[in-house]
Amino acid sequence: MKRFIIVILVVIFIVSGCQKDAVIRETEIPVPTAALVSKPLSEQSVEEIVNNMSLVKKAAQMVQAERKSISPAEARSYGIGSVLSGGGSHPANNTPEGWAQMYNEYQSAMLKGNQIPILYGVDAVHGHNNVHGAVIFPHNIGLGATRNPELLFEIGKIVSSDVAATGIDWNFAPAVSVVQDIRWGRTYESFGEHPELQELLISSYVKGLTQFNVIATAKHFIGDGATRWDDKASGYKIDQGDAVISEEELKRIHLPGYLAAINAGADSIMVSFSSINGLKMHMNKALITDFLKGELKFEGIVVSDWEALHQLPGNFEQQVASCVNAGVDMLMEPNMWKQAITAIVNGVNNGTIPIERVNDAVTRIIRIKKKYKLFEEPLVEFDGSKFASEESKKVARQAVRESLVLLKNEGKVLPLKKNANILLLGPGINNTGYQCGGWSLEWQGTSDPSRIPGTTILQAFEEVASANGAKIITDPKQADKADVAVLVIGEKPYAEGVGDNGTLTLDSNTAMESNLDAVRAAAQTGLPVVTVMLAGRPMIITDEIENWDAFVMAWLPGSEGGAGIADVLYGDYNFTGKLPVTWPKDSSQFGYNVNSIDYNEEAVLFPYGFGLSY
């Protein structure tokens, strides 16, 4: 009897020790996910796969790591659910083929361990913008100016094709934010200030983005465009701040884009860093679980933003529990992915995370992996023949043309005569980095024009001039040889919080450094002045515009920006773009837009929807 009791105690000790150290043991010794099922993973039902997974493996499926912090071998050992490349994160060989090779290394590792294939995610927000040589399209704010859903479908389709060519499964796009205050550094990621633009464009864009079996993601759920600049709780930061808003306004302005995206087939939704009336969205169960998953019946994956759960109350395990319990299925934990797995396991074991919540999350993840054929076709056969094709560049060039907004044209100085000698001035005349803005090769973009292949304004103008016996002059000292001056000013590249700007003047923190010098130089020439602005949002130009004969807002037109701008300024195409946001006269009008109860078109510099043509 004593001997039997001793054996029982030893067994209990061993079992309890295994449970306590479960994560370490299961990650050091790869355990085939389907060890208890004889069928290949590709032939199993979602329910079978989930039921035969250990708790540790389920937890691992719910975590997404950044490629720089997890090797293919570690991905296999832990059975990680997803890997991503953050902004600017790319393989050493940053070519389409290099990306495909990296992707296959991860998936091959998973196959060797009989693990579930990973989902690999990127922010391909205006082209496959992490990849060198990709076609970079105008940012969303410019696409909003086009008001052309058919064009959005074609752009989405090209992005999907380029992303799929490199093996990537998951695109963290589109942003369906409805920007309400242009001081926000993510203004250019929004299609505009009125929900009608999201309703018009999102469906076509999502359908295009999913054409080549790539998951589309509507972000950032919800109300990220409504955050206040003067929010003391977030240190007077508008990015990741607080939206003080009624439920009626939240759903009327900020929900339509999500409805359109879900109905069009977006199978992922990313949660916003920001808060709604003081409650961080990453712990907002009422909106994520009850509303999104319950009332709207969204069946895809809800993913967190980059380390966003770290902003929740409590220690890390408490933060993970709050986020998972709110309804987030996959945790984007680029660096603390191991700790996140452990936190989920411990949360279930200590009762702070219901196992039903974990099973729901993993079921959603496996279901999406099944839907997008990860089990059948986990590897990619690289075919770069269509990547950054000439046809893709033509569509990008068309997008530039249709996004341009003509705001002033006194004396009909535009269109430019092709045989005119033009003085081209300003910091933006010969820089593809400025044309592309943020999320272009790097998270914050790059000011180095040599890094992004494309066509600059100078190059495009010189091509027209050369074909017509004219000259492009860049030295203001030779202004007497020119017929007209074209001035190119605007904002330097930025993303997210770095782009928050409280003044938006031509010499403010996001402005191109020599804007004012170029403005003065143009004025001193005595020539008619055509000003082109490269920027992610309106800037305060009420005083300066008086001295310009024509003014064109070009937004952030991308790699084919120079060619598209030349097409329209030289008159081969007409202006069709309309303002997707209100252009304020001064800083007192920040946050004043078409949704304001007292909106008065006469009170602003240019109202929402304004745009001239020839």
Return the active site residues: 305, 496
113: amino acid identity, one letter: G
> Is the predicted pLDDT of residue 1 greater than 60, yes or no?
no
- What pLDDT is recorded for position 232? 59
Element (H, E) at 66: strand 63-66
- What pLDDT is recorded for position 230? 77
Sheet holding 472-473, edge to edge: 405-409, 550-553, 529-534, 484-490, 422-425, 472-473
CATH no., domain 390-603: 3.40.50.1700
Please, are residues 129 and 406 in contact by the beta-carbon 8 Å criterion? no
> Is the predicted pLDDT of residue 600 greater than 60, yes or no?
yes
> Which of 539, 500, 558, 547 has its CA nearest to residue 521?
547
Place of tokens 């992005």: 159
Per-residue pLDDT tens for 283-317?
Answer: 999 999 999 999 999 999 999 999 999 999 999 99
Please, are residues 605 and 585 in contact by the beta-carbon 8 Å criterion? yes
- What pLDDT is recorded for position 16? 38
Region 155-167 average pLDDT: 98
Per-residue pLDDT tens for 545-592?
Answer: 999 999 999 999 999 999 999 999 999 999 999 999 999 999 999 999
Domain spans, the chain: 21-371, 390-603
d(CA 2, CA 575): 92
Give the pTM. Answer: 0.93
Q: How many CB atoms neighbour CB 545 within 10 A? A: 16
Q: Does domain 21-371 have CATH number 3.20.20.300?
A: yes
- Which tokens sit at 543? 């005083």
Per-residue pLDDT tens for 82-103?
Answer: 999 999 999 999 999 999 999 9
- What pLDDT is recorded for position 28? 37
User: Torsion over CA of 435, 440, 445 and 450, rounded to 10 degrees?
Assistant: -70
Confidence of residue 237 (pLDDT cuts 50, 70, 90): confident
- Which tokens sit at 300? 């895809």
Provide the percentage of residues in the chain whose pLDDT is more than 70.
93
Q: How many CB atoms neighbour CB 574 within 10 A? A: 13
Per-residue pLDDT tens for 347-358?
Answer: 999 999 999 999
Place of tokens 């998972």: 324
Q: Residue 579, exposed/middle/buried by CB under 10 A (0-12, 13-18, 19+)?
A: buried
Per-residue pLDDT tens for 249-263?
Answer: 999 999 999 999 999
- Which tokens sit at 24? 């370490």
Per-residue pLDDT tens for 365-391?
Answer: 999 999 999 999 999 999 989 899 999
d(CA 109, CA 410): 64
> Is the predicted pLDDT of residue 332 greater than 50, yes or no?
yes
Mean pLDDT of the chain: 93
Please, are residues 342 and 78 in contact by the beta-carbon 8 Å criterion? no
Element (H, E) at 339: helix 337-349
Per-residue pLDDT tens for 20-57?
Answer: 334 433 333 333 333 334 578 888 999 999 999 999 99
